[in-house]
């Protein structure tokens, strides 16, 4: 039998696994006649907040707007600087500029591949208003040190948790360390909708109320805008789908970590460096990203064996045309620039079968031993 092509992510297989309850849940929404901000959104907001052990969750339209709304609700205004990383999805940076704020880049730490807290202090100016660490690939950023620096300097902290749904640090979920956090439910995420979706979470009732108002035209009372807002509501159908999947998130993340451990055992440290274990953290393994000195050979080798690979991301944000030479901090990102030329993402999703996992491990071992 011909081997099937193994994709890097497979939202289709996840849908197929939960097909009956998803179709049921969608049917229930259709029959309810309530299609915007109904019971499913309210229940999902409560259940997701309980999962994270945080007080407030506000469903919004996508992860990008979740970042924007979290920043804005924490008081970030046009012209304010927000310190973040260039080694991230472009969405993080787009979200800062969407509200007229100004991104500033800090380099990453090679161990976590997240913001290096030791580099933040020197980037702070009188215009700095917030820090925006990204829990990249599902690895928690070093929140204790980041929070210490931010608090010492009177800065707000917003966590970009788009890739780290269910990750933990010192027994606490990512998203519960800062003043607010943003989640994405893009279909390939650890908790994925079947369309766009996002959420802001916070323990601060004032931030929560502000996000709730801003996501719907600045309304504090129906049809009456207390301030200018927008439309960024989580869709009722998507909320219903997320409620079907949320109870499986914990075991799905465990399965992701088990597959990741198998890959890490299969690769030879000389040619492929697996993601490193960071003590005290529980990786959400959204993406399994190795470093490889010779990815020009590894990628086609795996593709020939019908194993998909991807680059997250092919270029850091500061080297992309839209941002080139205009973001402060871009001149001093040696680790970001070293890493992006070596990264390769391998297939990782909870529905990946045992034979497919084995096939990937064998291919990795074979490539390493042929060096
Ligand atoms: C780190 C990061 N931040 C923000 C986002 C934006 O999420 P969305 O695609 O839901 O707008 C994503 C996802 O693409 C992401 O990976």
- Report the first-to-last Cα separation within the chain, whole angstroms: 29
Question: Does the 11-247 domain belong in CATH 3.40.640.10?
Answer: yes
Residue-level pLDDT at 327? 98
Task: Show Cβ contacts of residue 17 under 8 Å, excluding neighbours closer than 6 positions.
Answer: 351
Query: One fold for both 11-247 and 248-369?
Result: no
User: How many whole angstroms from its chain centre is CA 39?
Assistant: 26
Burial of 157 (0-12, 13-18, 19+ CB in 10 A): buried
If the chain, 371 residues long, is cut into consecutive pieces of 10 residues, what is the mean pLDDT of each piece? 90 98 98 97 98 98 98 98 98 98 98 98 98 98 98 98 98 98 98 98 98 98 96 98 98 98 91 95 98 96 98 97 97 97 98 97 96 87
Question: Does the 248-369 domain belong in CATH 3.40.1180.10?
Answer: no
Under 8 Å between Cβ of 143 and 172: no
Report CA(79)–ligand 1 centroid distance (Å).
23
Residue-level pLDDT at 3? 86
Q: Best of 61, 67, 91 to mutate for ligand 1, by most ligand atoms within 8 A of CB?
A: 91
Ligand 1 atom closest to Cα of residue 136: 1
All structural domains of the chain with their residue ranges: 11-247, 248-369
Residue-level pLDDT at 51? 98
Ligand 1 atom closest to Cα of residue 196: 10
Report CA(92)–ligand 1 centroid distance (Å).
7
Q: Best of 71, 87, 97, 163 to mutate for ligand 1, by most ligand atoms within 8 A of CB?
A: 163
% pLDDT > 70, the chain: 100
Is 186 close to ligand 1, i.e. is its CB under 6 Å away?
yes
Burial of 145 (0-12, 13-18, 19+ CB in 10 A): middle
Is 84 close to ligand 1, i.e. is its CB under 6 Å away?
no
Is 183 close to ligand 1, i.e. is its CB under 6 Å away?
no
pLDDT digit string (tens) for 291-339? 999 999 999 999 999 999 999 999 999 999 999 999 999 999 999 999 9
Is 64 close to ligand 1, i.e. is its CB under 6 Å away?
yes
Burial of 299 (0-12, 13-18, 19+ CB in 10 A): middle
Report CA(223)–ligand 1 centroid distance (Å).
30
Closest CA to 165 of 71, 83, 302, 66: 66
Ligand 1 atom closest to Cα of residue 62: 10
Residue-level pLDDT at 1? 59
Task: Show Cβ contacts of residue 89 under 8 Å, excluding neighbours closer than 6 positions.
Answer: 134, 162, 163, 312, 313
pLDDT digit string (tens) for 138-169? 999 999 999 999 999 999 999 999 999 999 99
Ligand 1 atom closest to Cα of residue 184: 10
Secondary structure string (H, E, C) spanning the chain: CCCCCECCCCHHHHHHHCHHHHHHHHHHHHHHCCCECCHHHHHHHHHHHHHHCCCEEEEECCHHHHHHHHHHHCCCCCCCEEEEECCCCHHHHHHHHHCCCEEEEECECCCCCCECHHHCHHHCCCCEEEECCECHHHCCCCHHHHHHHHHHCCCEEEEECCCCCCCEECCEECCCCCCEEEEECCCCCCCCCCCCCEEEEECCHHHHHHHHHHCECCEEECCEECCCCCECCCEHHHHHHHHHHHHHHHHHHHHHHHHHHHHHHHCCCCCEECCCCCCCEECCCCCEEEEECCHHHHHHHHHHCCECCECCCCCCHHHCCCCCCCCECCCCCHHHHHHHCCEEEECCCCCCCHHHHHHHHHHHHHHHHCC
Under 8 Å between Cβ of 156 and 124: no
Residue-level pLDDT at 268? 74
């Amino acid at each position: 039998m011909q081997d099937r092509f193994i994709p890097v992510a497979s939202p289709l297989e996840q849908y197929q696994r939960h097909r009956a309850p998803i179709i049921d849940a969608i049917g229930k929404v259709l029959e309810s006649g309530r299609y915007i901000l109904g019971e499913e959104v309210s229940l999902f907001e409560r259940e997701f907040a309980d999962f994270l052990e945080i007080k407030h969750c506000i469903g919004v339209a996508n992860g990008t707007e979740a970042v924007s709304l979290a920043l804005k609700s924490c008081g970030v205004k046009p012209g304010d600087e927000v310190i973040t990383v260039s080694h991230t999805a472009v969405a993080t940076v787009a979200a800062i500029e969407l509200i007229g704020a100004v991104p500033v880049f800090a380099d990453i730490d090679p161990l976590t591949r997240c913001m290096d807290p030791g580099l933040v202090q020197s980037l702070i100016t009188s215009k700095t208003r917030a820090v925006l660490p990204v829990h990249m690939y599902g690895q928690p950023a070093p929140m204790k040190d980041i929070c210490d620096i931010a608090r010492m300097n009177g800065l707000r902290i917003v966590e970009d948790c788009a890739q780290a749904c269910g990750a933990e640090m010192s027994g606490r979920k990512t998203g519960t360390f800062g003043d607010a956090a943003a989640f994405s439910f893009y279909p390939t995420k650890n908790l994925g909708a079947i369309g766009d979706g996002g959420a802001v979470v916070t323990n601060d009732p004032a931030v929560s109320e502000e996000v709730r108002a801003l996501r719907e035209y600045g309304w504090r009372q129906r049809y009456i805008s207390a301030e200018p807002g927008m439309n960024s509501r989580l869709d009722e159908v998507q909320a219903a789908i997320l409620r079907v999947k949320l109870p499986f998130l914990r075991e799905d993340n465990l399965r992701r970590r088990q597959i990741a451990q198998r890959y890490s055992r299969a690769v030879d440290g000389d040619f492929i460096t697996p993601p490193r274990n960071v003590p005290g953290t529980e990786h959400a393994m959204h993406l399994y990203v190795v470093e490889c000195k010779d990815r020009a050979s590894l990628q086609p080798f795996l593709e020939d064996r019908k194993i998909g690979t991807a680059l997250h991301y092919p270029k850091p944000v500061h080297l992309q045309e839209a941002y080139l030479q205009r973001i402060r901090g871009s001149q001093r990102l040696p680790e970001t620039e070293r890493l992006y030329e070596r990264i390769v993402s391998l297939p990782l999703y909870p529905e990946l079968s045992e034979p497919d996992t084995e096939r990937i491990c064998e291919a990795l071992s074979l490539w390493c031993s042929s060096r």
